[in-house]
Amino acid sequence: MPASPSPKNATLTGLAIFAIVATSAILFCSKGVVAKLAYAHGADALTVLALRMGFALPCFAVIAALTSFGAPPLGAGDWARLAGLGFIGYYVSSLVNFIGLQYVSVGLERILLFTYPSMVLVISAFVLRRAVSPRTWVACGIAWLGIAAAFLGETHAPVANPHTGLGTALILLSALTYAVFLLLSGGMIRRVGALRFTALAVGFSCLFMLGHAALTPTTRSALLHLPPAVYGYGLTLAVLGTVVPSLLLGIGLRRSTPQRVAIISSLGPVTTLLLAWAVLGEKPNLAQVAGFALTLGGGLFTSLRPDPVSETAVPVRASPRGGESPAA
């Protein structure tokens, strides 16, 4: 019978898991800050995403090849579903998220994206007819009160942004498409494995994004004449904002529970506010801080409830979201 791990080793293992998951969450949530730095050099959302996906594609191609070695072959239907999920969860969700980020602060963007657990529950309750507890509905309501507070805080900031409504709508659309992706992807993840699924789905999204850029004359031309810093930001988004955190989170999920991962991952949105303040000068006002706290609390409660929907939603969140999640 194998010996039980000593308390010291268990502590070290727990600290290692915490460090792995926390690093992943912080890197994922830093994407908005890096994208804003690229926007400051004149790049638009599609250009930045094309750089990100172009640099990330070879990495995910290697991961897909390694995880597919010795695995059962995929049929035509499997490839079609992977392409469709990549289109919804990583291409569409990332695109509308990065476009919306041009119009709102990084802090508000991160708060808005954290509404996806409540969207999963709403879709499950009204479309899939799954039961949701009253306490979970209360948590969803609290999260959306936080959204309202954060939105009002941004619209009443010292320098008002006339496009806050448009940016908010786009990022909420990003959260919605990611919620749909979560509900549709569970079967494929169980069939092909989480890491292989992520590599293939993101690989398809990279092709969609690069195809979109190639068919857009202004973006196609801009990609060849960008300031060196923008190429650096694109590479940073691909490696440190997508590939590395997705691998780290996969490691964390294999060695911990989805509930614990969700709790540790809450460091990401907190870090985003601090990074946006330190790097971009986005100092949140009281309404934004209150909205952030309400949304984070409601989203965490929703994710950690022992409902079947929540148990599905948390592990899939490990996917590198641009969406985003790698998507967003």
Is the pLDDT at 311 greater than 80? The verdict is no
pLDDT at res. 328: 60
Is the pLDDT at 313 greater than 70? The verdict is no
pLDDT at res. 201: 92
pLDDT at res. 318: 37
Is the pLDDT at 266 greater than 60? The verdict is yes
Is the pLDDT at 7 greater than 70? The verdict is no
189-214 pLDDT, tens digit per residue, is 888 888 899 899 999 999 999 999 99
pLDDT at res. 108: 83
| Local confidence band at 134 (pLDDT 50, 70, 90 cut-offs) | confident
pLDDT at res. 321: 37
Least confident of 63-67, 98-102, 273-277: 273-277
232 burial class (0-12, 13-18, 19+ CB within 10 angstroms)? middle
Asked whether the beta carbons of 220 and 124 are under 8 A apart, the reply is no
Least confident of 101-110, 160-169, 209-218: 160-169
pLDDT at res. 52: 96
Is the pLDDT at 3 greater than 70? The verdict is no
Is the pLDDT at 4 greater than 70? The verdict is no
| Local confidence band at 34 (pLDDT 50, 70, 90 cut-offs) | very high
Is the pLDDT at 12 greater than 60? The verdict is no
What is the average pLDDT across 26-37?
90
pLDDT at res. 58: 96
CB atoms closer than 10 angstroms to residue 134: 7
Asked whether the beta carbons of 139 and 301 are under 8 A apart, the reply is yes
What is the average pLDDT across 119-133?
80
Which of the two residues, 120 and 207, has the higher pLDDT score? 207
The rounded mean pLDDT for the chain is 81
pLDDT at res. 308: 44
Dihedral angle of Cα 32, 34, 40, 44, to the nearest 10 degrees: -70
pLDDT at res. 125: 81
| Local confidence band at 137 (pLDDT 50, 70, 90 cut-offs) | confident
